[in-house]
Amino acid sequence: MFGFPVNVFWILLQKQWRCIPRGKAHSKEVFITPYSQAFSADGVDGPVTLSTREHYETWQGSLWTVSLHEEPSPSENRKLVAKGTRSGRVFDKFLTDYFNFQEESVSMALPVVDTEYLKEIDKARRDLRALIAYKNCAPIMLRLAWHDAGTYDKNSKTGGANGSIRNEEEYSHGSNSGLKIAIDFCEGVKAKHPKITYADLYQLAGVVAVEVTGGPTIDFVPGRRDSNICPKEGRLPNAKLGSPHLRDIFYRMGLSDKDIVALSGGHTLGRAHPDRSGFEGPWTQEPLKFDNSYFVELLKGETDGLLKLPTDTALLDDPAFRPYVELYAKDEEAFFRDYAASHKKLSELGFTQESSGFKVKDTTVLAQSVAGVAVAAAVVILSYFYEVRKKMK
């Protein structure tokens, strides 16, 4: 009926660009970005226009003309624009039927962090502790949490701790090589606690991985929303580059020099594998123990059997980074304190407690207030009856 090219449909379907049709206008203008939640707004009459970064097509149907073209943009969030000439309902149906635009495929439901959700978090924490102890998988669980959150871009508000790494499009990135193992480990926990979002589960796994190996206790706030939108490859650090690259990556996330050094201390856990990174070996003598030995070994210089990547030596060579290395090498308590704070920031990239849909703390305070009023009222009533009884005697 509409006579549009199959290749255009396939491109849009592959990209999973979605539309949320809203409103009652006779024409629609829909703005869709490949890395953020789509929305729609009323527009002016005109031909249907669909644009992507990669393709140009124009076709006509019995109801409207459709053109697909590139719209240059300084950011990675190029717009997919659609303008309909017919009624909103007909146009919405066209988009839904032919391009399968669905809100939930862009951004999953916001979890309701109520008491039941918190109970599930506690149960999942216990299951993760047992799993990590049994599988000795703390390093890869920490890496999973880091790589899911470390894609955040503070300017475009895209990426971050949203569970998108579970999708093949993202875990197949070169920097995520091997992480399918950790994703599969987490599936067992997810099956037992389906109410918990993947985003929360992956970050909880990272927190537990640090704690069970002797590291600091990290404050964990649940309520992250899952997403199916995968960021483009290249947002994570490249181990072959130096301090300018590290700053580019971490500053893009909104993190500081202190965060860069503190989080680098996470390499106290685990080892590099040649089939994943091209490097081989552990950073410390005890790669399943979380302590400050990463910094101690870094200051020692080259040591047989231990790994030092360009991103590691950059911490020594950079005059702003080195003081933190020296501090953490001699003061494990300072490292633990700063690491816990930096890890919390990392785990909440793209997430704020206010957006979690339910404020347990506020509800607790409210409940305490109600209880206080009830107790005070009971005291007044009992006092009244006591006085009445005294007068009757």
Residues identified as active-site: 147
| CB-facing half-sphere around the CA of 111: CA atoms within 13 A | 28
Contacts of 102 (CB under 8 A, 6+ apart): 18, 96
Tokens for 162? 């949203």
Tokens for 176? 């995520």
What phi and psi, each to the nearest 5 degrees, are found at residue 118? -65, -35
Burial class (CB in 10 A: 0-12, 13-18, 19+), 273: middle
Tell me how crowded residue 93 is: count the other CB atoms within 10 A of its CB. Answer: 13
Q: How far apart are CA 191 and CA 189, in angstroms?
A: 5
For residue 94, CA distances in Å to 60, 61, 82 come to 13, 11, 11
Tell me how crowded residue 130 is: count the other CB atoms within 10 A of its CB. Answer: 13
Q: Which of 218, 253, 208 is nearest to 349 (CA)?
A: 253
Q: How far apart are CA 385 and CA 393, in angstroms?
A: 13
β-strand partners of 58? 67
Return the residue matching tokens 């992956």: 202
Q: How far apart are CA 143 and CA 147, in angstroms?
A: 6
Tokens for 7? 């290749």
Q: How far apart are CA 81 and CA 345, in angstroms?
A: 35
Q: How far apart are CA 306 and CA 298, in angstroms?
A: 10
| CB-facing half-sphere around the CA of 258: CA atoms within 13 A | 12
Q: Is the dihedral of CA 301, 302, 308, 314 positive or negative?
A: positive
Burial class (CB in 10 A: 0-12, 13-18, 19+), 380: exposed
